[in-house]
Amino acid sequence: MAAVFPAWVVIVVVMSEAAVVMSGFPATLKLERSIPLASHELELSRLRERDILRHGRLLQSSVGVVDFPVLGLYDPFLVGLYYTKLQIGSPPREFHVQIDTGSDALWIGCNSCKGCPKSSGLQIPLKLYDPGSSSTASTVSCSDERCSHGIKSLSSICSGSSYRCSYTFQYGDGSGTSGYYVLDLLHFNKIVQGSVDSNATAKVMFGCSTLQTGNLTTPDRAVDGIFGFGKQSLSVISQLSSQGVAPRTFSHCLKGSDGGGGILVFGEVVEPNMSYTPLVPSMPHYNLDLRSISVGGQVLPIDKSEFSTSINRGTIVDSGTTLAYLADEVYNAFVGAIKNFCFSNRAPCSFPGKSMLRNN
């Protein structure tokens, strides 16, 4: 709902403890602003400098934390997504990938890709990954143990005479991608006890996309790939954790004002005055136990069954989805209450571009 309430949103997920942290975020979805208004806000570069200095206090880990930049904007009419830059291979090449907590694997368009866009409306240079041009790249075979783990979680495929560990992903908007897995070096900044190591590397397994379909083929908001932050073993955060490179915890800060951007860190937040809400256990996504919604201090009369959680329903945190989607009964009650509140207080009330949609 960032298009309605521009603000900083901080998401911290401790995967091993199954908790999501949002500053000032009780179950009734009361919105509180912990950063000064736009007229007083700090420049993003100054915020990042300040955060690096504070990482030794805020982000504690015996193995250090990993820091990535965040670009993009909440406004669906301008960008409508957040993405980061990764350096992969030897020599390292830079790729722009969308940050997506709703999927698991990292994948990047490969040099043999069909349907990969050649230009981007985001004004970023698109690149194709070529495993043959990296001296540290290798193909993941079907006999690799990591491929076997992927098969169990439906993240990889091995069939026929092909020796390569393959994958096919379908997304909620009907788009899809398929390809095969490779191993190569990921380059990143690592912060240990306040010191920054800008030459840190680790080998990670990721997808080499040879086919893209649906919205992934359009150039409007095209990026080089998708950076999945899901719970499965093939997610990069799980891989780095298993290697002892970073903790199995990530913090994701989204800047909702016109400048966009934010911060993405693999690390544990120990800052006091945080409000915690637990994740629903044994779910494939980061499900929250949403119990009620309030507008103007009044809890809306919504049937509690609308908030129930199962494998195919519930409330999830998904950074790869631009809009907030609500079930019909919840949508009607929520929007109606906002309109009544605006009318009662004689305040202007508008929903630019339908920033919330029914979850049909």
- The residue from 75, 100, 104, 184 that is catalytic is 100
Distance CA 309, CA 258 (A): 34
Q: Strand, helix or coil at 335?
A: helix
312, two tokens: 């195919």
* Residue 75 appears among annotated catalytic residues: no
- The residue from 51, 130, 289, 318 that is catalytic is 318
Contacting residues for 338 by C-beta, under 8 A, at least 6 apart: 295, 349
Q: Which of 248, 355, 318, 315 is nearest to 98 (CA)?
A: 318
Distance CA 56, CA 73 (A): 28
51, two tokens: 């955060």
* Residue 220 appears among annotated catalytic residues: no
Q: Which of 9, 120, 146 is nearest to 74 (CA)?
A: 9
Angle at 97 between CA 94 and CA 99, to 5 degrees: 140
336, two tokens: 């109606």
155, two tokens: 């993240």
177, two tokens: 């991608």
| Under 8 Å between Cβ of 128 and 111 | yes
DSSP string, 62-111: TT-EEEEEEEEES-TTTT-EEEEEEEETTTTEEEEEEEETT---EEEEEE
Question: Left if phi > 0, otherwise alpha if psi is -120 to 50, otherwise beta: which for 164?
Answer: beta
Q: Strand, helix or coil at 57?
A: helix
Catalytic residue annotation: 100, 318
